[in-house]
Amino acid sequence: MSPRLQLSGITKRYANVVANNAIDLTVLPGEIHAVLGENGAGKSTLMKIIYGAVKPDAGTIAWEGVPVTIANPARARRLGIGMVFQHFSLFETLTVADNIVLALENERTSVELSDRIRDVSNRYGLPLDPDRHVHTMSVGERQRVEIVRCLLQEPRLLIMDEPTSVLTPQAVDKLFATLRRLATEGCSVLYISHKLNEIRALCHKATVLRGGRVTGDCDPRHESSSSLARMMIGGELPQTQHRAAHAGADVLVVRKLTLAADDLFGTSLSDIDLSVRAGEIVGIAGVSGNGQRELMTALSGERRQDEADTVTLLGTAAGRMGAAQRRALGLAFVPEERLGRGAVPEMSLAENALLTAYRKGMVAHQFVRAGVVRDYAARTLRTYGVNAAGPDATARSLSGGNLQKFIIGRELGQHPRLLIVAQPTWGVDVGSAAQIRQALLDLRDRGGAVLVVSEELDELFEICDRLAVIAQGRLSDAKPVAETNAEEIGLLMSGVFIHRDGEGRYLRPDSSR
């Protein structure tokens, strides 16, 4: 039997990096094949080459034993290659059926297609309403649309690019069941991820990439997480130091925060209660799009509240204060979008440091003290091991992980009483992620209060003292990490706690049963 897909010597160079260097990869029919690697290892480039979105500089591709040139995505789809993107390729203002009809070449009306959508989606346990508009759907539902859209094309190779980063643990189980079923029907799956335990649970084979090269080939079912990690990062997984918490007085108190969405595609917040004490890290878990963005703008001061006492910062009613006033009280904030909100892309690192740390002696009599600004930026680069040309490098020139280290370092250098950080390690390589987590723990140990919003459950369990869950704009009560588990958090993430008792508190499902 000839392999479904065989890549030999695939090479792709960009201006100054070799994204893929002589990569060989063989996928058999019915095989779930993992491509494992850190961010920047070349996984995405390789997938884009297979899907025809990027042309390789060298190398050959054989499809079912026949050499092919995949010039564009349309050609890939005609061959039978489907791809579910990490950042979805859906059209928000259109309905599910319209989105799917667009991808199918021989379909004219979405009406007759609706039945097929219902049929296929139910068969694979991915229920969908064809008439809903995509912008009303959760991220998990959108992924379902992408998958069903691929399945309707009856693909023989399905590429999944980091599919679980947006799913609850329960949804991940469902997805895996779907993929296993597809594989038994003869469809091959290329599964892109950096999550070792998922790959060990799901995949028949793994190809490991590091720095654009294949560094290993294995059966992940017979490997341990640390042996896979060695192949992936060329060393041991870094561990963080977690000391016992000594929580002090309340630093941030949120009472009955209700906020209408400022955007048609946004989420309204309702009745959010939350407190963070000195010397503790509180985590907020949840699938993105459940109100995290709105909560962050409400806490940072980008959107002010009507009542001053909705948000209390270090004993001061701060609800009506803007971002600058709240920062003056001792708040530091690291938003989810690094370029654009966390840093100005075109400005130098020094100028970006000035933007939030100007209170650190950088301004005298309305004049900027350039030396102080540069020193602060240079010190941040040194302390946090940021890989950058220097304080004059533009923020845009840094990789995601390095920029995040710089932004967090810039905020920590202001010795905040409260640090609010959204998605601290999103798109950051394993080594830098461990460093960032350690920095957050260190701030906590020095008596700082930290609020972390993240989609990575493993990360939250690693660093947090208490955990709350946001779902559909509501926040569950924060619970000590030791008293909960991933399964319970996963249930809460899917919004199962919308019941309240007599005192207006949310009731949570009992995890012991």
Out of 18, 54, 68, 486, the only residue in the binding site for other proteins (CB under 8 A) is 54
Residue given tokens 């350039």 in the structure block: 370
β-sheet bridge partners, residue 332: 419
Q: Is 256 left (phi over 0), alpha (psi -120 to 50) or beta?
A: left
DSSP classification of residue 62: E
Residue 263 lies near other proteins (rule: CB under 8 A): yes
Residue 264 makes contact with other proteins by CB under 8 A:
yes
- Chain centroid, CA 490 distance in Å: 16
Q: Tell me which of 3, 26, 92, 316 binds other proteins, using CB under 8 A.
A: 92
Residues 66-85 that bind other proteins (CB under 8 A): 72-77, 83, 85
Helix (H), strand (E) at residue 198? helix 196-202
Which residues within the stretch 283-322 sit at the binding site for other proteins (CB under 8 A)? none
> Minimum distance between the CB of residue 151 and other proteins, rounded to whole angstroms?
14
- Which listed residue (2, 60, 69, 93) binds other proteins by CB under 8 A? 93
Torsion (CA) 97, 103, 107, 111 in degrees, nearest 10: 0
For residue 148, the minimal CB distance to other proteins (Å) is 13
Q: Which two tokens stand for residue 88?
A: 């979805």
Nearer to other proteins, 54 or 329 (CB): 54
Residue 90 in the binding site for other proteins (CB under 8 A): yes
Report CA-CA distances (Å) from 502 to 112, 217, 473, 496: 49, 57, 21, 18
To the nearest whole angstrom, how small is the minimum distance from the Cβ of residue 51 to other proteins? 8
SS3 222: helix
Q: How many other C-beta atoms can be found within 10 angstroms of the C-beta atom of residue 53?
A: 15
Query: How far apart are alpha carbons 295 and 268 in whole angstroms?
Result: 9
For 332, the token pair is 């530091």
Which CB, 45 or 432, lies closer to other proteins?
45
> Phi/psi of residue 185, each to 5°?
-80, 0
Of the candidates 18, 102, 139, 434, which one interacts with other proteins according to CB under 8 A? 102
**Could you tell me which of 277, 273, 274, 275 has the C-alpha nearest to residue 249?**
277
- Residue 372 beta carbon to other proteins: minimum distance, rounded to whole angstroms: 38
Residue 479 is encoded by which pair of tokens? 């619970």
Which of 30-38, 48-56, 231-239, 336-344 is the region at the interface with other proteins (rule: CB under 8 A)?
48-56
Q: Shortest distance, CB of residue 95 to other proteins, whole angstroms?
A: 10
Helix and strand counts by DSSP (H, E) for the chain: 16, 23
Per CB under 8 A, the list member of 18, 22, 28, 53 interacting with other proteins is: 53
Q: Which stretch binds other proteins (CB under 8 A): 34-42, 222-230, 257-265, 365-373?
A: 257-265
DSSP code for 25: E
**Length, in residues, of the chain:** 513
CB environment 205-218: b (16+ within 10 A), e (fewer): bbbbbbebebbbeb
Strand spans (E) along 245-360: 250-259, 269-277, 281-285, 311-313, 316-317, 331-334
CB of 45 to other proteins, least distance (A): 11
CB atoms within 10 A of CB 414: 19
- Nearer Cβ to other proteins (109/512): 109
Any contact of residue 103 with other proteins (CB under 8 A)? yes
State yes or no: residue 139 binds other proteins (CB under 8 A): no
If the CB atoms of residues 85 and 461 are measured against other proteins, the closer one turns out to be: 85
Q: How far is the CB of 140 from other proteins (least distance, A)?
A: 18
Q: From the CB of 22, what's the least distance to other proteins, in Å?
A: 21
By CB under 8 A, name the one of 62, 68, 94, 218 that touches other proteins: 94
Q: Which residue type occupies 17?
A: V
Rounded to a whole number of angstroms, the minimum distance from the CB of residue 109 to other proteins is: 8
Q: Interaction with other proteins in 158-187: which residues (CB under 8 A)?
A: none
The number of beta carbons lying within 10 Å of the beta carbon of residue 260 is 13
Kindly state the number of chain residues that form the binding site for other proteins, as judged by CB under 8 A: 29
Applying the rule CB under 8 A, the residues between 388 and 427 that interact with other proteins are none
By beta-carbon proximity to other proteins, the closer residue of 91 and 201 is 91
Q: Output the CA–CA distances (angstroms, integers) from residue 477 to 229, 466, 488, 512, in the order listed.
A: 35, 9, 13, 17
Q: Which is nearer to other proteins, 94 or 486 (CB)?
A: 94
User: Given the complex with other proteins, which of 86 and 170 has the nearer CB atom?
Assistant: 86
Closer residue to other proteins in complex, CB, 54/434 = 54
Least distance between other proteins and beta carbon 98 (Å): 6
268 near other proteins, rule: CB under 8 A: no
Beta strands in 286-422 (DSSP E): 311-313, 316-317, 331-334, 363-364, 367-368, 418-422
Quick check: 357 and 351 in contact, CB under 8 A? no
Residues that bind other proteins (CB under 8 A): 51, 53-54, 72-77, 83, 85, 88-94, 98, 101-103, 105, 107-108, 149, 263-265
